[in-house]
A and B are shown apart, each in its own frame.
Chain A
Amino acid sequence: MAIVSSLDAGTGELTIKVKGRFDFSAHQEFRDAYEKVDSVPGLYLVDMAETTYLDSSALGMLLLLRDHAGGDSAQIKIANCNSDVKKILTISNFEQLFDID
């Protein structure tokens, strides 16, 4: 599991890429990725292209991100999910809270 993030200064979009298993061990790094930024992002993209698996603590981390990003007014996109990841997000009905690709 590894977290890589990059902030596009022009658009204000923070991209967080999760590589490998997205589980409890990612907790601190994921949090640092969106908390320790030089300027406040306007929108967020969680890139799951290389995410192999998602468990309930990962869902919890996404909720924490949403809370941090403004709750109902947050703009968060979750992109490039493989079928396993998509399935978990669908069962949890997370498309009601996030823009899922």
Chain B
Amino acid sequence: MEDDSGSLKILIADDNETDRMILQAIVKKQGHAVVTASDGLEAVERFIEDQPELILLDALMPNMDGFEAARRIKELAGEDLVPIIFLTSLKDAESLAKCLEAGGDDFLSKPYNRIILQAKINAFRRMRNMHLTLQQQRDQIVIHNEHLLHEQETAKAVFDNVAHSGCLDSPNIKYLLSPLAVFNGDVLLAARKPSGGMHVLLGDYTGHGLPAAIGAMPMAEIFYALTSKGFTVEEIIKEINSKLKNILPTGVFCCACMLDIEFREREMKVWIGGLPSCVLYRSETEERIELASNHLPLGVLSSDQFKVKMQVFEVSEGDRVFMWSDGIHEARNDQDVMFGEDRLMDVFDQCKRPDQLFDDIQHSVEKFLGEAQRDDDITLVEVRIPNEEEVEELPEETIDVSDKGPMDWFLDYRLNPMSLKYFNPLPFVLQLITEVPGLRRCSGQVYTILAELFSNALEHGVLKLDSALKKNPQGFSEYYDLRSKRLENLEDGFVEFQLEHIPTDTGGQLTVVISDSGDGFDHQAKIKTDGNVQYCGRGIPLISTLCRSITYQGVGNKVEVVFEWHYQQTGS
């Protein structure tokens, strides 16, 4: 260790006693401490025992010459800088060069000049200090880096708990997402809707590391909470945009694609902002439909400027949607050529079997990148429209149920034009109903039926839309355009909920009456003809033991649904 005055411990190795004494005197006069050795072997031993900081080494010594001693000492010193100054009477350039090649840092020729020796010692002392500083800084960086990695692991654990896998493990979803993708800004979320359908959200945040991961957490919370409560995809995207706009600094945003799939309705809505075009691949026609980004990324526009324009499609069993972040397009091979969108679309065009598309895309990228490159920065998702049986089998999410809550109550809730335009009452009504302990576990079924009846009341009753319009592909988007337009221009009309819950001996009974200002329909005739009450042209199975009855009243603009639930047996 050096003390404050900057004095060093210097080893002087020379077989000539006189020379040793002269050097010792010069060095001590400069204020340094000295240890001595009289041959190469002793020099190495002295180095090990006394740990000198600088060495004056005679090139030619018995037992072991200076060159070998220098080699061993440098090896022992390892990473530390212990300057070696060779002492030599040789004057020719080759011999002097040899000293440096042998591991020496400098040489000093006889006769020894005191001033030159002292100057060289000072120079090497500066160099040693610089070297030590660099080592300390390097060590600090290593420690900080370890802390950062540890922080990232902790953040990842928190994120995983918040994001949890939702229903990403559903059999109709395939995905490629590296374990640390969140630190590349990539987030993939999927959740079942209470009505049975599914929301899937792929996000790509700007930036890397913790800042990218932090933005993902509020987004995941909103996504899961609002999806489970029955909020619509439009409402969820708006809420996420709003949140991100508030919390992310200017210039940080999230490119995203969100899917809303209604299995029973066979409908899909897509929101894309900032991600490269996704693909809807029709299984029957093998048609590839590109869904292009038509919004700014999330977190850029304020709520009042943020307008949602969903792309709506009818989908059939086996159709597949492919989503990706730009990692695939930007992947470069060793000629620095990007994979690009054209190559990606080619994979679809050359597809032989739709169920292999996912693997085909992956292989195509791997092949393009070549052996050396890793493709674990790629994020790729395939969502397939499942068939009926699969839908029934999809896992439901379990909810904690406490056994106390409101058992006897009545609510009358009427929505007039402004409310119908700007507010979706379903989450609120569902929330109210699921406060009843026995109904919480049936929230999916309750929601499905309420959503269907409310939609009928609003669309057929108040807006006077004809569901027959939805039967053909063009009619489909026409229907939704007409719906938007009529809703926007709505001046008169209402939809009213009347809810009542009473306890029974074995559980409880909920009655819901939904009425609207429309003209109704000839419900008597309908039931007589096909014996099964149809909604929107598609029947909902009434086999649920929960729904005791559904009856239309008056001219058909009023419908009453009765639900019954029973306390579960213990141990069931």
Q: Do A and B come from one complex?
A: yes
Surface stretch bound by B, among A10-18, A40-48, A56-64: A56-64
A73 contacts B by Cβ under 8 Å: no
Shortest beta-carbon distance from A100 to chain B in Å: 13
By a CB distance below 8 angstroms, the chain A residues around B274 are: 91-93
Cα of A91 to Cα of B295 in the assembled complex, Å: 8
Q: Is the CB of B296 within 8 A of A94?
A: yes
Asked if A67 CB lies within 8 Å of chain B CBs, one says: yes
Chain B, range 263-304, C-beta contacts under 8 Å to A: 273-277, 292-297, 300
Q: A70 to B260, alpha carbons, bound, how many Å?
A: 36
Question: Which residues of chain A from 51 to 100 have a CB within 8 Å of any chain B CB?
Answer: 56-57, 59-61, 63-64, 67, 91-94, 96-97
Q: Judging by beta carbons under 8 Å apart, are A61 and B251 in contact?
A: yes
B contact residues, range: 20 to 34
Please, which residue of chain A has its CB at the minimum distance from the CB of B250?
A67
Residues on A with C-beta less than 8 A from B252 are 60
A93 to B296, CA, bound (A): 5
Task: Determine if B207 and A91 form an interchain contact, defined as CB atoms under 8 angstroms apart.
Answer: no
Query: Chain B nearest CB: distance from A30 CB in Å?
Result: 11
- Residue with the greatest number of chain B CB neighbours at <10 A, chosen from A59, A91, A94, A97: A91
Of all chain B residues, which has the CB nearest A55?
B330
Size band of the interface chain A makes with B:
10 to 19
Please report the C-alpha to C-alpha distance between residue A64 and residue B300 in the assembled complex, in whole angstroms: 11
Q: Is A92's CB under 8 angstroms from B255's CB?
A: yes
Which of these, A56, A60, A61, A97, contacts B296 with CB under 8 Å?
Answer: A97
**8 Å CB contact of B253 from A63, A67, A96:** A63
CA distance A19 to B276 in the complex (A): 25
Whether A91 and B275, one on each chain, are in contact in the complex, defined by CB atoms closer than 8 angstroms, is yes
Residue of A with least CB distance to B297: A92
Contacts of A67 in B (CB 8 A): 250-251
Question: Is A57 within 8 A of B206, CB to CB?
Answer: yes
Q: Bound complex: CA of A92 vs CA of B204, how far in Å?
A: 12
B297: A residues at CB distance < 8 A: 92
A residues less than 8 Å from B255 (CB atoms): 56, 92
Contacts of A64 in B (CB 8 A): 250-251
- Chain A's nearest CB lies how many Å from the CB of B302? 9
> Distance in Å from the Cβ of B337 to the closest Cβ of chain A?
13
A60-B273 in contact (CB<8A): no
Cβ B251 vs Cβ A91 within 8 A:
no
Within 8 A of A (CB), among B217-266: 250-253, 255
10 A–B contacts, CB within 8 A, in A order: A56-B206, A57-B206, A57-B207, A59-B253, A63-B251, A64-B250, A91-B274, A91-B293, A92-B296, A93-B273
What 4 A-B pairs have minimum CB-CB distances, sorted nearest first? A60-B251, A56-B206, A64-B251, A67-B250
Q: A56-B207, A92-B296 are in contact. List 8 more A-B contacts (CB 8 A).
A: A56-B204, A56-B255, A57-B207, A57-B251, A59-B253, A60-B206, A92-B255, A97-B296
Binding site for B on A (CB under 8 A): 56-57, 59-61, 63-64, 67, 91-94, 96-97
